[in-house]
Amino acid sequence: MIVADKKPIEEIIEVIKDHDKILVLGCNECVTVCEAGGKKEVEILASALRMYFLNNGKEMVIDEHTLERQCDHEYLEEVRDRIDQYDAVLSLACGVGVQFMAEKYHSTPIYPGVNTCFLGATEQRGLWTERCQACGECMLATTGGICPVSRCAKRILNGPCGGSSNGKCELGKEVDCAWHLIVERLKALGRLDDYEKVCSIKDWSTDRAGGPRKVIREDVQV
Amino acid sequence: MRLEYPTNIRIVLVPCTGKVDIIHILRSFEKGADGVYVVGCMEGSCQFISGNIRARKRVEQAQEILDKIGVGGGRVQMYNLSAGEGTHFAKFAVEMEEKIRGLGPNPVKNSKKNLAA
Ligand code: SF4
């Protein structure tokens, strides 16, 4: 899923302070799971903001709503009939939701209420870690299911580098060396032969290096 | 036991303090409460394993938010006691009442009044 983190409330206050009527809009998907932008976080943030502005002598209208998703037309349409009532929307969706909403509702400022961080997993409640950088050409089949693109600091495709020591990356003891993990996993799978195969130069044009990407699936388009 | 404790405290019963969420605490202040305290079982003796630990964490988060928005995190407090400690219950109520009196009324309530005037 897309992992996001809360934005400091001070930063949000600074961004919305000149408005009078705001809609705090949550998303029921990834940001709900990572407890940054779901219904609960919308309620907490809206309540805190209302109290902050009241305390500062301003009765700001701060309403709350949460959509099933903010990255799909049909859900974003649900707010069409009420969006004009607001000076701005504070979206707690990931950056995709914020942008998609801004594209749809041209005349309303849409502000991000979270920091979108990475594609990751919930290791445990309160701990999310990166697993994928959406490079567009998945190589997990040959690396024992461990991604050197997202988990190796240098994105080395034939690792490890000389900085690997006792299973840890030279970045620090708290960072596992991805290539150490890959070798261990290939060993466990009895597929160390895969490790001996030199990975050829990766086509990075499917990664961000090739500019903004698209997936076009004519087979499902109607 | 017939212990006395301040009468200006409204008790909200919950099945476990793990049920108390940050929003419940914040809404209390939005509605004008001057202070909120959560009384849970002793840590390590929660029937639902970690309800009171969750409650403590949420109280801490509420404190942080209230500090940032100028209401004051000191208005929220977590207490723990065991079921047989009625005297502690009364003591916490007195302690909290004194503390909140020291802090004065909830500023949100005052601001609302000023804006309405
Ligand atoms: S130590 Fe491992 S993870 Fe760190 S940069 Fe080198 S190969 Fe990558």
B108 in contact with A, Cβ within 8 Å: yes
pLDDT of residue B2: 83
Q: Dig out the tokens for A96 from the structure.
A: 């995709």
pLDDT in tens, A106-154: 999 999 999 999 999 999 999 999 999 999 999 999 999 999 999 999 9
pLDDT in tens, B1-23: 788 899 999 999 999 999 999 99
Tell whether ligand 1 has an atom less than 6 A from the beta carbon of residue A154: yes
B115 in contact with A, Cβ within 8 Å: yes
Q: What is the mean pLDDT of residues A155-176?
A: 96
CATH topology of domain A2-118: Rossmann fold (3.40.50)
- Asked whether residue B83 is domain-assigned, the answer is yes
Q: So where are chain A's domains?
A: 2-118, 133-206
- The number of folded domains in chain B is 1
For A69, residues 6+ apart whose C-beta sits below 8 A from its C-beta are A27, A28, A29, A75, A93, A97
- Asked whether residue B63 is domain-assigned, the answer is yes
Tell whether ligand 1 has an atom less than 6 A from the beta carbon of residue A156: yes
- Asked whether residue B1 is domain-assigned, the answer is no
Instruction: Count CB-CB contacts under 10 A for residue B67.
Output: 14
Ligand 1: atom nearest CA of A153 is: 5
Contact across the interface for A52 and B70, Cβ inside 8 Å: yes
A187 three-class SS? helix
Instruction: Count CB-CB contacts under 10 A for residue B41.
Output: 19
pLDDT band at A33 (very low <50, low <70, confident <90, very high): very high
- The answer to whether the beta carbons of residues A94 and A27 sit under 8 Å apart is yes
- Distance, in Å, from the CA atom of A83 to the CA atom of A105, rounded to the nearest integer, reads 8
- Asked whether residue B100 is domain-assigned, the answer is yes
Question: Of the candidates A43, A48, A57, which has its C-beta nearest B69's C-beta?
Answer: A48
Which residue's CA is the closest to the ligand 1 atom numbered 7? Answer: A160
**Domain range for B71:** 17-116
pLDDT in tens, A54-68: 999 998 999 999 999
A82 in contact with B, Cβ within 8 Å: no
Question: Of the candidates A40, A50, A57, which has its C-beta nearest B30's C-beta?
Answer: A50
- Asked whether residue B40 is domain-assigned, the answer is yes
Contact across the interface for A48 and B27, Cβ inside 8 Å: no
